Amino acid sequence: MNQLIEQLQTKLFTGRLNLEAREGPTWTLYFRLGRLIWQAGGSNADERWRRHLSRYCPNLDMTKLEGLVSGQESYREYCILGKLREQKLIEQQQLVSLITSLIAEVLFDIMQYVEAKRNGNNPAGQLSPTTVVGAVPGFLLAVIPTEEVLKQATQTWQEWRDAGLASYSPNLYPVIEKLELLQGQASSKQIISLVDGTKTLRGLGQKSGRDALVLARFLMPLVKAGAIAYSPTPSPRKVGISQETGNPSSAVNNPNSSPKTEENTVIQVAPPATSKQIATPSSAVNNSNSSLKREEDTVLQVAPPATSKQIATPSSAVNNSNSSLKREEDTVLQVAPPAASKAIIDVSKPLVACVDDSPVICRSLEEIMTHQGYRFVGIQDSLTAVLKLIKSKPDFIFLDLLMPKVNGYEICSQIRKTPSLKDVPVVILTGKDGIVDRMRAKLVGATDFLGKPVESEKVLNVLHKYLSV
C-alpha cells in the first residue's frame, strides 16, 4: 500500500482511492495533488470520527454538529470541520492534528488487514484498489504531510505487530468474560469500570489517557487467562461489583457510579504460582505526565483463584495520607510472596526526558533509566512537548528527529529559545545519521546524536558524557 500511495504522490493525483475486498471492509483515501487530505470507511467509522472530535475538540457540543451541514451533503464530516473552522470553533493546528490522526489510524487498519489476509492466504480478502479522478471535496482544509503520516502509521503498526498483537484489532471491544478470575475486591471494581464492553481498545485508551498499544499489552495476559475476551461489536456488561462487599453483583451495573480517577487503571497479570514480583507503580508506569487527572497509577496483578493468595497493601510509591479519602485505586494487590524490588527512584537523581512519538522507544528508555536510578518522563505528543518540558524541568533530553505534527529540529530550536531549558543537553534520536542531518541539528542547538534502535550501553555512555550525576 505504501508503494501505491507513493505512486499517486508522484503523479500528483487528485481524486479518491478506493480499497475494497470482496469479503471485507472498504476504505477510501482522498488525495489532492498527490497529498492525502481525508479518509472514510473501515470498521467503526462513526466511533472513530466522534472519538477524534472529543480528543482534539473536547469543548465542542456534539449534539449541535449534525445541524451544521445538510444531511445530503457529500463529504459530510469534512464539511462539518469546514464549518467549525469558519466559525472559529477549531484552530488550524487542531484541524491539522485531527485529520492527520484520522488518516494515520485508517492507514494502520488497512496495513493490519492486508497483512492478516496475506498471512492467511485468503484471495477473497485481498484489497482491490480503484481510483476515481477528481472526486474530492471542493475546498481544502489542510495540507497533510503525507510522508510523515505514512511513516507514523507504519511505525505504529510495526510496534503493534512486534508486541504480538497482530491478530487483535484495536477496533475490537474488550469485555469481561469470567468475572471470578478478577480477584482483588477494590481493584476488580476499577477493571469493571474501565472494561464495560462499550468502548473499543482505542476508546478505552483515550478514556484512560493511555496509548492503545500500552493498554492492549496490559490486557493481553487477562485475555490469555480467559478473564477478558474481545468482541467485534459493543457488548455492555451485565454484572457489576457490589460497592459494599466488592463481590460480583448483577444488581450493580452503573458505569457512571465509579470515580473518574478509576479511568487511569493499569493492569498487570502474573501467572499463577510462579510469580515472584511485587507490582509497583514505579516499575510499571513511571511517567509523571501520563495522566492529566492524577499522578498515581494503579497496578493490578491477577492470578486464577485456585492458586492466588492475595494481600492488599498500600503502594509504597504513593504515600499521601489523604489519598484514601479520595479513591481506593492506590491499592496494589500482591499475588505472590514479596521479592527483591527493582531500583528505587531517588527524587534527588537527575530527571531524563524523552520526546518521541514511539511508545516502544519511550518504554525502552524508561526501563534503562529507572534501572539506573534516574527519574524519567516520556512525552509522545510533539505539539505539547515544549510545554511539558518546561513544566517537568528535565536535566537531560532525548529528542526524536522525525515526528508527525512537529519535528525534532523545530522542538530543539524552541528548547534553545526557552530560558529554563536553553542549557539542558539535547541528544537527537534518529535512524537517519547523515552529515546534512547532523549539521542541521547542530544549527538548532542539538548537543549530540544517538542512532536507533536504542541500546543500554550507548544510552548510558552519552548520558554520562553530558550529565554530571
pLDDT, tens digit, 9 for 90 and up, residues 81-107: 999 999 988 988 889 989 999 999 999
pLDDT reading at 326 higher than 60: no
The structural domains of the chain, ordered by start, are 2-162 (no CATH), 173-251+259-334 (no CATH), 351-466 (3.40.50.2300)
pLDDT tens per residue across span 383-419: 888 889 998 999 999 999 888 778 888 899 889 888 8
In this prediction, residue 218 carries a pLDDT of 82
Quote the CA–CA distance of 159 and 139 in Å, as a whole number.
35
Alpha carbon 460 to its chain centroid, in Å, reads 27
Give yes or no for a contact between 113 and 43, defined as CB atoms under 8 angstroms apart: no
Is the model more confident about 316 or about 28?
A: 28
Reference 456, options 381, 389, 340, 374; nearest CA is 374
Share above pLDDT 90 across residues of the chain, in percent, rounded to a whole number: 32
C-alpha torsion sign, points 133, 138, 144, 149: negative
Radius of gyration over every alpha carbon of the chain, rounded to an integer in angstroms: 23
Quote the CA–CA distance of 297 and 318 in Å, as a whole number.
9
Mean per-residue pLDDT, 429-440: 71
Residue entry with cell 500500500: 1
Residue type, 435: I
- Name the least confident of 12-21, 42-51, 241-250: 241-250
Quote the CA–CA distance of 374 and 463 in Å, as a whole number.
11
pLDDT reading at 455 higher than 80: yes
In this prediction, residue 409 carries a pLDDT of 85
In sequence order, what are the beta bridge partners of 18? 28, 130
Report the chain's mean pLDDT, rounded to a whole number: 75
Here the cell at position 126 is 485481498
pLDDT reading at 335 higher than 50: no
In this prediction, residue 238 carries a pLDDT of 62
Quote the CA–CA distance of 430 and 400 in Å, as a whole number.
6
pLDDT reading at 15 higher than 90: yes
In this prediction, residue 236 carries a pLDDT of 83
- Name the least confident of 21-30, 257-266, 375-384: 257-266
Is the model more confident about 88 or about 336?
A: 88
Is the model more confident about 235 or about 107?
A: 107
pLDDT tens per residue across span 438-449: 777 788 889 998
C-alpha torsion sign, points 390, 393, 395, 399: negative
Which residues contact residue 147 at a Cβ distance below 8 angstroms, ignoring those fewer than 6 apart? none
Using DSSP bridges, classify how beta strands 240-241 and 248-249 pair: parallel, antiparallel or unpaired. antiparallel
Output the CA–CA distances (angstroms, integers) from residue 88 to 111, 129, 138, 432, in the order listed: 35, 37, 20, 39
pLDDT tens per residue across span 153-209: 999 999 999 999 999 999 999 998 888 887 654 456 667 778 888 999 999 988 887
Full-model pTM: 0.55
In sequence order, what are the beta bridge partners of 378? 354
- Name the least confident of 92-96, 120-124, 261-265: 261-265
Reference 267, options 221, 319, 205, 202; nearest CA is 221
Helix (H, G, I), strand (E, B) or coil at 45: helix
Output the CA–CA distances (angstroms, integers) from residue 209 to 218, 263, 329, 390, 443, in the order listed: 14, 8, 16, 21, 35
In this prediction, residue 387 carries a pLDDT of 87
Mean per-residue pLDDT, 422-443: 79
Share above pLDDT 70 across residues of the chain, in percent, rounded to a whole number: 71
Q: What is the DSSP letter of 401?
A: S
pLDDT confidence bin for 211, thresholds 50/70/90: confident
Q: How far apart are the first and last CA of the chain?
A: 48
Reference 411, options 352, 353, 451; nearest CA is 353
Is the model more confident about 222 or about 337?
A: 222
In this prediction, residue 30 carries a pLDDT of 95
- Name the least confident of 197-206, 261-270, 376-385, 444-453: 261-270
Which residues contact residue 84 at a Cβ distance below 8 angstroms, ignoring those fewer than 6 apart? 57, 60, 68, 90, 95
Using DSSP bridges, classify how beta strands 248-249 and 266-267 pair: parallel, antiparallel or unpaired. unpaired
Alpha carbon 459 to its chain centroid, in Å, reads 24
